[in-house]
Amino acid sequence: MTDATAETKAPSLSDTQGKEGAKTAVLYRMSMPKHLCPYGLKTKAFLEKGGYEVEDHLLTTRNETDEFMAEAGVKTTPQTYIGGDRIGGYEEVRKYLGQPVREEGSTTYQPVIAVFGMAFLMAVALAFGTLMPILSARALEVFIAFSMCLLALQKLRDIESFSTMFLNYDLLAQRWVWYGYVYPVAEALAGLLMLTALPLLAAPIAIFIGGVGAVSVIKAVYVDKRELKCACMGGSSEVPLGFVSLTENLMMLFAGIWMLF
């Protein structure tokens, strides 16, 4: 691997070809005392993972970076060249290597999987640590409570953004705007009360917010056929409104009913 920091001219066919007979990628990326380009490092890592020997050209000053971009005819760094052809930046390299690239604005369930997966592992860990039977009603309650607390945390990170997105479909929030601010706090409180084994306090809250939420989602998605983003993971979420949000609310509703009996 070669670090070339002195020469920053735009790459020509000769210096983007790489070593003859080798699977080589030529990478130009910023590496300054006060700014180390994270996408440059990630590009380098993915190229190496893909079996490429990387000729790593570091742009160590702003002037070097501007000169490189002007001479190469590009507007951003990092830039990667393979076999004399410009591949492009980080996302273009991922596509070239056959790695998945999520398009801007596209929906994803990854945050939901992470939250429920973590809640499940936390419940299992607690069960082992307290000798609680894993296959028990209490273990299920703990899992639901952890899920509620983690989901509430996602909403409370940016409650303004959440409350705005929430207004798109929640029936009560559309009538009383402040409910968008109350909902995540109530969800967190219900989850905490479930963890402290105070069902008579947790149940009414869970039943109320779960019931209103379930009706709102059913109307927006399955009756009105609207395509919306779900506020369940916070206001900046790309999770589609539908099954996930309905599951969250039904989970709270049935947990509340369960705790009363």
Residue 53 CA to residue 60 CA, distance in Å, equals 21
pTM of the complete model beyond 0.75: yes
> Do 19 and 80 belong together in one domain?
yes
Same structural domain for residues 133 and 50?
no
Quick one: 7 and 91 in the same domain? yes
Residues 132 and 13 in one domain: no
104 inside domain: no
The partner residues of 81 in beta bridges, in order of sequence, read 26, 86
- 246 in the same domain as 170: yes
pLDDT at residue 20 greater than cutoff 80: no
Judge whether 102 lies within some domain: no
Provide the mean pLDDT of the chain.
88
In this prediction, residue 70 carries a pLDDT of 93
What local confidence, expressed as pLDDT, does residue 8 receive? 44
**Residue at 105 is within a domain:** no
Same domain, residue pair 119 and 198: yes
Residues 55 and 159 in one domain: no
Q: Which domain holds residue 44?
A: 2-96
Tell me: pLDDT of 21 over 90.
Answer: no
* Residue 223, pLDDT above cutoff 60: yes
Task: Specify whether the CB–CB gap between 179 and 170 falls below 8 A.
Answer: yes
Write down the pLDDT at residue 2. 41
24 within some domain: yes
Name the least confident of 101-105, 119-123, 191-195. 101-105
Residue at 196 is within a domain: yes
The answer on 243 and 174 residing in a single domain is: yes
- Over residues 99-115, the mean pLDDT reads 80
In a domain, 103, yes or no: no
So what's the pLDDT on residue 245? 86
- Let me know whether 36 and 91 are in one domain: yes
214/212 Cα distance (integer angstroms): 6
Residue 36 CB coordination number (10 Å): 12
CATH code, domain carrying 17: 3.40.30.10
Q: How many CB atoms lie within 10 A of CB 253?
A: 20
Same domain, 254 and 229: yes
| The pLDDT value given to residue 231 | 84
Kindly state whether residues 148 and 86 are assigned to the same domain. Answer: no
Total domains in the fold of the chain: 2
* Residue type (1 letter), 142: V
Whether residue 124 sits in one domain with residue 91: no
Averaged pLDDT for residues 166-186: 95
The two tokens of residue 250 are 């039904």
